[in-house]
Amino acid sequence: MSSVVVDAADWPMFRGAPALTGIAAGTVPDKPALLWTFKTQGTVRSSPAIVQGRVFVGSSDRRFYALDFTTGKQIWAVTNSDAVESSPLVLNGMIFVGANDANLYALDAATGKLLWKFQTGDKILGAPNWFTIDGKTNILFGSYDFKLYCLNAATGKSNWVYESANYINGSPAVAEGQTAFGGCDGLLYVIALADGTLARSNEIGAPIAASVAIADGHAYFGHYENRFLSVDLKAGTNVWSFRDREFPYFSSPAVTADRVIFGGRDKKLHCVNRKDGTSVWSFATRGKVDSSPVICGDKVIFGSDDGRLYIVSLKDGQELWSYEIGKPIESSPAVADGKIVIGSDDGSVYCFGKK
């Protein structure tokens, strides 16, 4: 199995890397300036990817875009038959992205040319992930047809399929030869990457719409019945459960050595102790926080349905900066090369950094 080191100038996939821990390299300015915006014709709920000076992002206007990271100018766009809310994975000169038309698309990163597509039985909202085994690169993603798919990255041919009992909304996390994902059937699944067999499942008892993060053999995720959990993947036991108020968790967590940070529909960003789930701090916004936070150095970056992009202190949750976009931000930030790129329900992609 291969691990991946992400270049500080890149953010190649949702949550940054295959374990989905939401950690960005480098630093961002204390008070970033708006560098550019790019207007699409629909809401932008897709979280951008940034690779080799390009930003890749989907829109509900049925298009998938490649933009210049420096200027925000369009390099190319391809049109699909339905909205693109999935976040792209950029790998080895290829882009893999799901769409609401039930297809996973593989595109040439340079030109946007279609290399192959794979049809499932329903829409694909979660971002694809990847792993290599026996020298072959494979793509992993879930669909609303209840299935988790593993495809050969080069050809789009199926390696295996695992069927759950309800929608798979999030992105599958990859670590240590396994993938972990939550289902809307209330189960946490752990699947062997080699052959797609079930290693174990945990009865969580509530739909899991967010993506799971994996760190040191533990899975971290929230669910629809107002709890956020840590599960020991080897033992299959729940380590701790965090509960604040009666609101679901839809945001995927960022995980450091000692903290876990996630948004809630209680309009808060929560920071808890990774070891025992006790609250370290919380930060209140004026709208639900479905956007997944990214940690960059000593800062946490996230969007809220109150229409603002926030930077708060990792240490104590104090607000350091915010920018009012004015429409809900359900997209999650991509952070690379000292810049932040994020989409909004106003139909635009925004880039912030040092002027």
Q: Rounded to the nearest 5°, which phi and psi values hold at 213?
A: -105, 140
Q: Is 70 exceeded by the pLDDT of residue 1?
A: no
For residue 338, the one-letter residue type is G
- Could you say which DSSP state residue 172 is in? P
90 has which bridge partners?
95
Range 95-111 burial, b when 16+ CB lie within 10 A, else e: bbbbbbbbbbbbbebee
The H or E element containing residue 49 is strand 49-51
Average pLDDT, rounded, for the chain: 96
Closest CA to 126 of 199, 211, 186: 211
| Helix or strand (DSSP H, E) at 323 | strand 319-324
Laid out side by side, the sheet with 158-163 consists of 129-133, 136-142, 147-152, 158-163
* Residue 221 to residue 119: CA distance in whole angstroms: 28
Mean pLDDT value of segment 148-165: 98
Tokens of 149: 């798919």
pLDDT grade, residue 196 (50/70/90)? very high
The answer to whether residue 213 scores a pLDDT higher than 70 is yes
Q: Does residue 196 sit in helix, strand or coil?
A: coil
- 140 burial via Cβ count (<10 Å: 0-12, 13-18, 19+): buried
Please write the tens of the pLDDT for every residue from 124-144: 999 999 999 999 999 999 999
DSSP string, 130-147: EEEETTEEEEEEE-TTSE
Q: What is the pLDDT of residue 6?
A: 53
Distance CA 339, CA 220 (A): 27
* Full-model pTM: 0.97
Percent of the chain clearing pLDDT 70 (strictly above): 98
Q: Name the burial class of residue 347, with classes exposed (0-12), middle (13-18) and buried (19+) by CB atoms within 10 angstroms of its CB.
A: middle
Handedness of CA 195, 196, 197, 198 (dihedral sign): positive
Q: What are phi and psi of 114, to 5 degrees?
A: -70, 125
Torsion, CA 91, CA 94, CA 96, CA 102, rounded to 10:
-160
Region 163-188: what's the mean pLDDT? 96
Q: Which helix (H) or strand (E) holds 316?
A: none
**273 HSE (CA, 13 A, CB side):** 8
**What is the pLDDT averaged over residues 257-282?**
98
Average pLDDT of span 17-23: 98
CA distance linking residue 20 with residue 15, whole number of Å: 5
Compute the distance between CA of residue 280 and CA of residue 316 in angstroms, rounded to an integer: 8
Radius of gyration of the chain (CA): 18
Instruction: Please classify residue 350 by burial: count the beta carbons closer than 10 Å to its beta carbon, then call 0-12 exposed, 13-18 middle and 19+ buried.
Output: buried
pLDDT of residue 2: 34
Average pLDDT in the 253-278 region?
98
CB 174 within 8 A of CB 194: no
Residue 8's pLDDT band (cuts 50, 70, 90): confident
Check residue 5 and give its pLDDT: 45
Grouping H, G, I as helix, E, B as strand and the rest as coil, residue 203 is: strand
In tens, the pLDDT along 43-101 reads: 999 999 999 999 999 999 999 999 999 999 999 999 999 999 999 999 999 999 999 99
Compute the distance between CA of residue 240 and CA of residue 233 in angstroms, rounded to an integer.
13
